[in-house]
Structure 1
């Protein structure tokens, strides 16, 4: 009995290690995009990844044919959303030292854009995951894409020493 449990534990550990070897890099990149941190300085993204992998490992035996990557991605997204909500009281713009490529987007825009475009999650699935109507997910994704493709212009520099001609 003990040998069988030990063998099952070893098999479980090998399967999970193989999953992490294949999925951790992509999940870390998604987490880094979500947190808008610099790719080489991303402690919040690494924490999100660690929590998502720990949650996936804790539920490994209960997956029963379910894709572990989907489970980890779902936990990563919901944990990010909950963290933003608790930290800032909603999906506002407040965040420390944004440096990533999606830094000009709100957390909600980043979340939807990462799910839809980087992860390839269907609108319906993203809407169900976030508890939003499909139309809302579509409009937020469109707005975020437009913001990235056509960033707002910086204000014109002030002209110093200019004189107004007398009339």
Structure 2
């Protein structure tokens, strides 16, 4: 009897989680891909981030108690990305190509959370342990970099595009 109930609960949990993944995985992968600044068709770091975040969400699925699983998974993505970027700070290499590749990891994280995901500045600040003013400043600086790339980046692009 107890065993049957546990089997039924496990099956329900698996169905609920599969439904969540079916609905949210595409957007979460897009978010992870933006964070890593990888091309959408070649994004192994983004896929690792997403796998870790989804595994964590599945592990705590029964304890969510009304929390939004999407928010929890997105937070895990952001924290893992930030922790990885901080851990590899000295080893940081700019990812190839893309508009967001010109940004530092922290700038990219804040820009993606604020603009792509629509997370409020206060929530972003709380998640990253930064003052709200700092998040706002970083977001504005990142937007300026994306909208108006530095001259040397524009010159490099022009050289790459110039016909031989």
- Corresponding position of 1:20: 21
Summarize deviations over 1:100-132 as a string: whole Å, max 9, x none: 331111100000000000000000000000000
CA contact (8 A) 1:32 1:42 kept: yes
Summarize deviations over 1:16-60 as a string: whole Å, max 9, x none: 000000110101000000001111111000000000000000000
Q: Does 1:112 align with 2:115?
A: no
Unpaired segments ≥5 residues, structure 1: 158-167
* Greater Rg over alpha carbons, structure: 1
Q: CA RMSD in A?
A: 1.6
Could you list the runs of 4 or more consecutive aligned residues of structure 1 that deviate by over 4 angstroms after TM superposition? none
What is the TM-score of this pair, normalised by structure 2?
0.89
Displacement, 1:134? 0.2
- Name whichever structure is richer in helix by fraction: 2
Distance (whole Å) between structure 1 residues aligned to residue 56 and residue 82 of structure 2: 16
Alignment of 1:1-167 (within 5 A): 1-89=2-90, 94-95=92-93, 97-154=95-152, 155=155
- SS of equivalent to 1:141: helix
Count residues in correspondence.
154
